[in-house]
Amino acid sequence: MATPSMKRNERITRSSLMVVMVGMGLAFALPFYWLISTSLKSDAQLFVFPPVMIPSPVMWENFALAMTKIPFLMYFKNTMVIVGSTVLGVVISSSLVAYAFARMEWPGKNVWFGVLLATMMIPFPVTMVPMYLVFKNFGWINTFLPLIIPSFFGNAFYIFLLRQFFMTIPHSLSDAARIDGCSEFRIYWNIILPLVKPALLTVGIFQFQASWNDFMGPLIYLNSDKMYTLALGIQQFQGIYNSQWQLLMAASTIMTLPIVIMFFVAQRYFIQGIVMTGIKG
């Protein structure tokens, strides 16, 4: 039976944890608040001391001005083409490979899964030059193909994530479907995929964020200004208007908003997907 002293200590512990969590939340939110605050400032408020935390007057026109300084809509369209294609590619390819590793029996499965995981330890600079030469020989430089096509060959981390989720589904469902005459692909498509929507959504969110924020890939493969993504466009913006920080922050805020909105809309499925992948190894 809990004594009054134990209950008091428990309340103190909970209160302390709450204070720590609130403090950490504020610390993580401060850079984002400063980004938005700076995007709404006038020139006179940028470098004053002490810093202006709440802009007055609020310069909402900074956002409209930022979108006219660079071809923002063209960069946005290019980014969405790449993001949409890569999300579709990794969800399809990674789920197929993960299904094979989790639900099918074939010689050397565990060995090849270990090889797959080992590829995650290869740093990008090691493969950057060989991949560039390959895509150059294909004639894909200054096109979206080098940024899209690799996603249709799977991703080691996403395959691992989906495999862990697939292994939580009872094999009796697949066995019953086989008895009824279902092919392996139909089991994968009609039975397994509908049960793993949280994991698929988690992979989609990860890939959306990776492609949306990708700077190095477009920098390497895209040469024409008409092909630039938002990440490259904002870097160009900084090079041209590096003294107008409020406009740069406004453009950065606009670019950040889709990621934030997507996470808050899909956070329930995102958290469920992360939690469920660790249930069974």
How high is the pLDDT of residue 281? 41
Asked whether 198 and 273 are in contact (CB, 8 A), the reply is: yes
pLDDT tens figures, 9-34: 777 888 888 888 888 888 888 888 88
pLDDT tens figures, 46-100: 777 787 788 878 888 888 888 888 888 899 999 999 999 999 999 999 999 999 9
For residues 256 and 269, give the distance between their C-alpha atoms in angstroms, rounded to a whole number.
Answer: 21
pLDDT tens figures, 227-247: 999 888 887 766 555 567 788
**Chain-centroid distance, C-alpha 227:** 21
Task: Compute φ and ψ for 180, nearest 5 degrees.
Answer: -80, 0
Asked whether 89 and 159 are in contact (CB, 8 A), the reply is: no
- Structure-block tokens of residue 204: 């989609």
Residue range 102-120: average pLDDT?
91
For residues 234 and 255, give the distance between their C-alpha atoms in angstroms, rounded to a whole number.
Answer: 9
For residues 12 and 14, give the distance between their C-alpha atoms in angstroms, rounded to a whole number.
Answer: 6
Q: Give helix 72-103 / helix 230-240 axis angle, nearest 10°.
A: 140
* pTM beyond cutoff 0.85: no
How high is the pLDDT of residue 199? 87
- Quick check: bond before 170 cis, omega within 30? no
How high is the pLDDT of residue 275? 56
